[in-house]
Structure 1
Amino acid sequence: MSEVRIKQQQELGQLIQHFSPKDGVFETAIPGLFVICYSEVSEPAYRVYKPSFCVIAQGEKEIFLAQERFEYGPADYLVASMNLPVVGQIIRASEELPYLSMKLEFTHDQILEVINDASVRIIPNENAKRAIFVGQTEQSLIDATLRLMELLHRPEDIPFLAPLFIKEILYTLLKGPYGAALGQIAMEGSNTYRIREAIDQLTAHYDQSIRVEQLAEAASMSLSTFHRNFKEVTGMTPIQFQKQLRLQEARRILLSESAEAAEVAFRVGYESASQFSREYSRMFGAPPRSDVKQLKEMYDPAKSMVFLGD
């Protein structure tokens, strides 16, 4: 890494620390922009990633989408292009050198706006691509990221300049090596766009019984084509995807509310409390009551809820 890049990483880290009053995830004055700081390595955190662009200034993190592992650090960026249930873990952090990162959430409409305004050429009929990717952070991308972050020191400029700088970041991503994979999510008629709509439907109605045949029909795909493209995008089947959504939401409810496991099982869409307990244990390593007790002992409630949402 060049001296210029090292200096920029340090500047980014200083900005993140300045707007992070303590360990945790903090929303900034720029809509969709978050800063994250942790002074120790973490336990695995289960959450649903929204479409987002993430850059690490210091430390390292790993993300699991199904069985696929993505590791990234200060030389890399990560993009999640859809709502995805993942497992994340900070693997390098300390009191002296805390984990420092920023996350910019974006919408599919913002991607489409940049494609249209900048006349970025995206071929809509390409095969579906994985919805998470890690790339090397080029100079133009870190420049644009710093411009956006530095706006936090000039709140009066945010309403006008933030949308422009966000467009610049998305434009740079679309022009980069993974631009086609990102652009597909906004191109109506592409296989990725159709799978994205199915994912949005599953995410919105995770607690309801949805037949895969219905999703395939809504996507205008045969059942076999739908299964193949869904797995290419997410690394899992639609049933596995919905199960992860249900179990993550169940864990969140159990941690934040005084509710019985059986009640939560029915709230997230399970018809059998025993099946819920088995699948919960398989995913989190312990039955609901034991898992939640252990988590509450490991973290104080306020901190652990923020941490699990990282």
Structure 2
Amino acid sequence: MPIDTLAHEIGRIARNDGPCLTELPDLTLFRSSLKTEPTPCIYALGLTVVAQGGKQVTAGEQVIDYGPGQSLLTAVDLPVIGQVTRADLARPFLGLVLTLDARALVQAAAEMDRPPLPRDPAPRAISRCETEAPLLDALIRLVRLLGEPQLIAHVAPLIRQEIMLRLLCGPHGPYLRHLLAAGSPSHQIARAMAWLKQNFTGDVRIDDLAASVHMSPSTFRQHFRGLTGMSPLQYQKQLRLQEARQLMLSHDLDAGSTAARVGYESASQFSRDYSRLFGAPPQRDIRRMRHPGEGGVEPAMP
């Protein structure tokens, strides 16, 4: 079966637990011999495929379980909580993440002769579908290409283009095309989310943000929650906390100075929000991230 072939190819390259970076910057393989703890992270625009084992992703109020042969398409940058739910030494979790290029997707969608989008399905920032055999075949060829480094620069762009076209034409297509359609409510919300990602440290007036995408505040909030499963302020808070965690890991900053850098006026409020999201106060969380064996934290799929 194609999914077994993909699992074999991933397992042949990803020999150790955790993310496996490849010669293709947009392709990351993953292996885990153990179930993992729920881990907050941000999914960028991309395709995540489970080849073996199982995973659960929580995005706002949406909880998604998926296993071998199933894929998630994330159409916007979205804070989620991910967890490997099925894995052991005999049959480790195996999967991949392929980051997609937004401009290339927009261009590919514009050049395709597709029927008008239906009102349903309701646009979502993240969708789960069965991965069709032709798409799996393209992903297998992309992974196998890692064994032919002399061909990567010439062949990888062709396979990427095929993958994008199959995504636009396949079960993920309606969700993805809703997000790409200029002027659609989903596209307008995606624009607002992109602005928030660049300006999350400042004070945000939702009324002004809604006006910038030509929506009333109530309509804006409704569409934002419908797409992401969370409110605009919840989205901003998660962006702040994810950035804070990376700052403390990368630059050895204390919680107080980090809180100020990501836009918090109160260090105590920052600590409370941080503990709710990551399950421990900042210093303790960073300590267990740096020494996972002491805190029971296992690597999580990006």
TM-score, normalised to structure 2, is 0.92
User: Equivalent of 2:269, from 272, 275, 278?
Assistant: 275
User: How far did 1:118 drift?
Assistant: 2.9
User: Equivalent of 1:50, from 44, 59, 70?
Assistant: 44
Deviations 1:117-167 (A, max 9, x none): 332345398796111111012222212211222221222222222222122
Larger relative CO (CA 8 A, sep 6+): 1 or 2? 2
1:65 paired to 2:59: yes
How many pairs align?
A: 302
User: How far did 1:107 drift?
Assistant: 2.1
Q: Which residue of 2 aligns with 1:236?
A: 230
Cα distance in structure 1, aligned partners of 2:160 and 2:116: 19
1:115 paired to 2:96: no
Q: Which residue of 1 aligns with 2:206?
A: 212
User: Equivalent of 2:299, from 279, 301, 307?
Assistant: 307
Q: Which residue of 2 aligns with 1:81?
A: 75
Residue identity opposite 2:299 in structure 1: F
User: How far did 1:207 drift?
Assistant: 1.3
Q: Secondary structure of 1:91's partner?
A: strand
Comparing 278-287 with 77-86, which one deviates more in the overlay? 278-287
1:255 paired to 2:268: no
Cα distance in structure 2, aligned partners of 1:43 and 1:32: 25
For the Cα contact (< 8 Å) 2:57–2:81, is it kept in 1?
Answer: yes
Q: Secondary structure of 2:30's partner?
A: strand
For the Cα contact (< 8 Å) 2:83–2:300, is it kept in 1?
Answer: no
Q: Secondary structure of 1:188's partner?
A: coil
Cα distance in structure 2, aligned partners of 1:59 and 1:52: 20
Cα distance in structure 2, aligned partners of 1:237 and 1:149: 37
1:291 paired to 2:280: no
1:150 paired to 2:136: no
Residue identity opposite 2:176 in structure 1: L
User: How far did 1:12 drift?
Assistant: 1.2
User: How far did 1:272 drift?
Assistant: 0.7
Cα distance in structure 1, aligned partners of 2:147 and 2:54: 26
Residue identity opposite 1:65 in structure 2: A
Cα distance in structure 1, aligned partners of 2:121 and 2:196: 21
User: Equivalent of 2:169, from 157, 168, 175?
Assistant: 175
Comparing 160-169 with 63-72, which one deviates more in the overlay? 160-169
Cα distance in structure 1, aligned partners of 2:293 and 2:245: 15
For the Cα contact (< 8 Å) 1:54–1:104, is it kept in 2?
Answer: yes
Cα distance in structure 2, aligned partners of 1:130 and 1:116: 20
Q: Secondary structure of 1:307's partner?
A: coil
Q: Secondary structure of 2:155's partner?
A: helix
For the Cα contact (< 8 Å) 1:124–1:189, is it kept in 2?
Answer: no
For the Cα contact (< 8 Å) 1:122–1:184, is it kept in 2?
Answer: no
Cα distance in structure 2, aligned partners of 1:13 and 1:124: 35
Comparing 290-299 with 135-144, which one deviates more in the overlay? 290-299
Q: 1:156 to 1:116 in 2, by over 3 A?
A: farther
Deviations 1:200-247 (A, max 9, x none): 111112212121112111111111111111111100110000001111
Q: Which residue of 2 aligns with 1:222?
A: 216
Cα distance in structure 1, aligned partners of 2:112 and 2:260: 48
Gaps of 5+ in 2: none
Cα distance in structure 2, aligned partners of 1:127 and 1:212: 27
Q: Secondary structure of 1:207's partner?
A: coil
Gaps of 5+ in 1: none
Comparing 126-135 with 221-230, which one deviates more in the overlay? 126-135
Q: Secondary structure of 2:31's partner?
A: strand
Residue identity opposite 2:62 in structure 1: E
Cα distance in structure 2, aligned partners of 1:123 and 1:147: 31
For the Cα contact (< 8 Å) 1:53–1:104, is it kept in 2?
Answer: yes
User: How far did 1:27 drift?
Assistant: 2.2
Residue identity opposite 1:95 in structure 2: L
1:187-206 → structure 2 map (5 Å cutoff): 187-206=181-200
For the Cα contact (< 8 Å) 1:122–1:180, is it kept in 2?
Answer: no
Q: 1:120 to 1:159 in 2, by over 3 A?
A: farther
User: How far did 1:284 drift?
Assistant: 2.4
1:105 paired to 2:115: no
Residue identity opposite 2:20 in structure 1: F
Cα distance in structure 1, aligned partners of 2:65 and 2:120: 26
For the Cα contact (< 8 Å) 2:275–2:282, is it kept in 1?
Answer: yes
